[in-house]
Amino acid sequence: MASGFFLFFKGNLPEKLFSEEAITTGNIVVDSLMLEAIGQGGTAEVTKDTIIEKTIGEGDDRVIVVPESAVLSTEDSESFKGMVYLENFFARLYALEQQKGGRVRIAYYGDSMTDGDLIVQDLRKKYQGKYGGMGVGYVPVMSESAQSRQSVIHKYSNNFKMLSYLNVKKPQKPFGVSGQVYFVKDTIKQSWVSYSGGKMQNMTMLYNPTLYYGSSNNKRGEVVVITNKDTIVRKLSINSELNKLKLAEGSVKDIKVTFKHADSIPIYGFDFSGAGGVQVDNFSSRGNSGLPLSLFKTSLMQKYQNNLDYSLIVLHYGANVLNYGTLDYSWYTKKMGAVVQHLKQCFPNANILIISAADKSSKVDGVMQTDKAVVPLVKAQRKYAIESHAGFFNLYDDMGGNGSMVKWVEEGKANKDYTHFNHKGATVIAEKVFTRLEEGYTEYKKKKGGSVRPANRTDSVQRANNSTVGEGAKQKIENEKE
């Protein structure tokens, strides 16, 4: 009977069971800026800060204008990689490898592809294994994937109020570097967050635990810190638009922080990074198209840059931009080009790498095939990378191009949604990203006149882990750039 019904209805079924139009449902998180841009034909408002302009200001509102680099890529657009636009990052890596001290830090922004620290944790492991460095890096107060992370054990109370750049355009306080801002919601019930070292190499301890928080008129806020069986009460000093409080010296296995009298104080997140080597922070947001990055407040991000000192910012988006009823992504090229220019203001001297959408398969005539929107989107991403003077990694081509997602699913490297990688596949993707960056770095060293002298692995890593970032180290790095 089942076979009979199937044969009867088969001729009347459409090619695709699901519409390609935008779906409105509370079960799918998609950022509001992208929905607005699509609804207005790609003309959604972009905040003023997304345009680089000469602005003279004072104090917290001061904006540093970053001029365009005079270096231009001569590559053909079809094979564009843009490694020439990552030379500040390579210079910092070179200084570190030459054992001249300092630290190299990467911010990896992504969508559900990097949820649970997938891809990023393996990239972090690769860099720290080769160049030194310890710790999981910056972790937000709350996370959708806290329970699935292997790189840190993360728990928190349910009485924080979170504002995210995915669905709020004008928060009461600016978003932190992870794209969220948190507030203590219930003054009767204590709000707390705890972290423990993870299970991955170089991430089994929490290094130099530091809390980042914002400005407020509340002068009574404090935190109760429990670590190594010690309990310490620390006052939250509100001195600047961005404040930090070191919670413990050196490394600890776990830490619990409880907030008291902290209502109205914007809480941003915690940093667990070693003093030297390479650090890689994962800023993943399910449903993110990349456009919400335009909502970062420039002056606050520049203060983050003064503290965290990013050398490279990775933008890994695309999965949430597919299948919204159009194959014309010129609107996305324009919007993301403005986002990149905005990030150059927010994080002076940080280079930017664009990672394209991966292959995604949809069922057509009963057969899983590469979705027709993938290639147009990848071309749009490459176009804004070229126009923005950013590096570009064509993930779609590198994983095999047309039909490759089907093969990855069959090989057990991707989930059966034919969109997302699993742990096995994420490790492979991280290897591909690392290899591309290493190829660019090798070319950079050739331009400098030769390869770096091989260093003793143990001594090099130990030096990187024990080094501190001071003015002297920064000056050495600047000398290397010159």
- CATH number of the domain that 252 lies in? 2.60.120
CA distance 116 to 77: 34
Average pLDDT score over residue span 29-41: 63
User: Do 384 and 322 share a structural domain?
Assistant: yes
User: Do 154 and 116 share a structural domain?
Assistant: no
**What share of the chain in percent tops pLDDT 90?**
66
User: Do 209 and 119 share a structural domain?
Assistant: no
Average pLDDT score over residue span 267-274: 96
pLDDT number for residue 54: 40
Total domains in the fold of the chain: 2
- C-alpha closest to that of 270 among 164, 196, 352: 196
Strand partners, 363: 368
CA distance 482 to 132: 24
- C-alpha closest to that of 373 among 316, 416, 329, 420: 329
User: Do 426 and 286 share a structural domain?
Assistant: yes
- Out of 207, 240, 275, a domain closes at 275
User: Do 115 and 190 share a structural domain?
Assistant: no
Strand partners, 367: 364
pLDDT number for residue 479: 45
The structure tokens 């928060």 sit at 171
- For the chain, the farthest-separated pair of C-alpha atoms sits apart, in whole angstroms, at 80
Element (DSSP H or E) covering residue 232: strand 230-235
Q: How confident is the model at residue 88 (pLDDT cuts 50, 70, 90)?
A: very high
Backbone φ and ψ for 212, nearest 5 degrees, come out as: -110, 135
- CATH number of the domain that 59 lies in? 3.40.50.1110
- C-alpha closest to that of 447 among 69, 74, 87: 87
- C-alpha closest to that of 253 among 185, 195, 167, 310: 195
Q: How confident is the model at residue 78 (pLDDT cuts 50, 70, 90)?
A: confident
* pTM of this structure: 0.82
What integer best gives the mean pLDDT of the chain?
84
- C-alpha closest to that of 389 among 355, 353, 347: 353
- Out of 226, 258, 275, a domain closes at 275
pLDDT number for residue 445: 94
| Pair type for strands 254-260 and 191-197 | antiparallel
pLDDT number for residue 461: 42
Q: Which residues of 247-271 are buried (b: 16+ CB within 10 A; e: fewer)?
A: bbeebbeebbbbbbebbebbbbbbb
User: Do 219 and 146 share a structural domain?
Assistant: yes
- C-alpha closest to that of 360 among 343, 375, 345: 375
How is 190-224 classified by DSSP, letter by letter?
PEEEEEEE-SSTT-SSEES-EEEEE--S----EEE
pLDDT per residue as tens digits for the range 362-404: 888 889 999 999 999 999 999 999 999 999 999 999 999 999 9
Q: Tokens representing 120?
A: 């990023």
Average pLDDT score over residue span 311-316: 98
How is 50-74 classified by DSSP, letter by letter?
GS-------GGG-----PPPS----
User: Which residues are within 8 A (CB) of 40 and not within 5 positions of it... i.e. 6 or more apart?
Assistant: none
CA distance 67 to 76: 24
Cα first-last separation, the chain: 77
Evaluate whether 107 touches 283 at the Cβ level (below 8 Å). yes
User: Do 258 and 370 share a structural domain?
Assistant: no
Q: Tokens representing 256?
A: 């619990």
Average pLDDT score over residue span 124-133: 95
- Out of 246, 275, 304, a domain closes at 275
Q: Tokens representing 131?
A: 């160049």
The structure tokens 């794209």 sit at 179
Which of 38-42, 283-287, 335-339 is least confident? 38-42
In whole angstroms, what separates CA 113 from the centre of its chain? 11
Evaluate whether 268 touches 177 at the Cβ level (below 8 Å). yes
Q: How confident is the model at residue 327 (pLDDT cuts 50, 70, 90)?
A: confident
User: Do 79 and 6 share a structural domain?
Assistant: yes
Query: Could you tell me which residue, 399 or 144, shows the higher pLDDT?
Result: 399
Evaluate whether 241 touches 214 at the Cβ level (below 8 Å). yes
Q: Tokens representing 20?
A: 């390609």
Average pLDDT score over residue span 403-426: 96
Strand partners, 315: 109, 354
Which of 202-216, 261-275, 442-456 is least confident? 442-456
- List Cα–Cα distances, 428 to 12, 163, 300, 399, 431, in angstroms: 41, 33, 35, 9, 5
> What's 358's DSSP letter?
P
- Long-range CB contact pairs, 401-405, < 8 A, 24+: 401/359, 402/359, 402/370, 403/359, 403/361, 403/369, 403/370, 404/359, 404/370, 405/358, 405/359, 405/360, 405/361, 405/368, 405/370
User: Do 467 and 377 share a structural domain?
Assistant: yes
Q: Tokens representing 113?
A: 């592809």
User: Do 421 and 304 share a structural domain?
Assistant: yes
Q: Where in the sequence is the domain holding 430, given as residue range(s)?
A: 2-133+276-481
pLDDT number for residue 84: 95
Amino acid at 245: L
- List Cα–Cα distances, 69 to 87, 104, 257, 390, 476, in angstroms: 11, 21, 43, 11, 21
User: Do 411 and 270 share a structural domain?
Assistant: no
CA distance 408 to 416: 10
Element (DSSP H or E) covering residue 462: helix 457-466
User: Do 121 and 7 share a structural domain?
Assistant: yes
Q: Is 233 helix (H, G, I), strand (E, B) or coil?
A: strand
pLDDT number for residue 148: 80
- C-alpha closest to that of 429 among 336, 351, 357, 333: 357
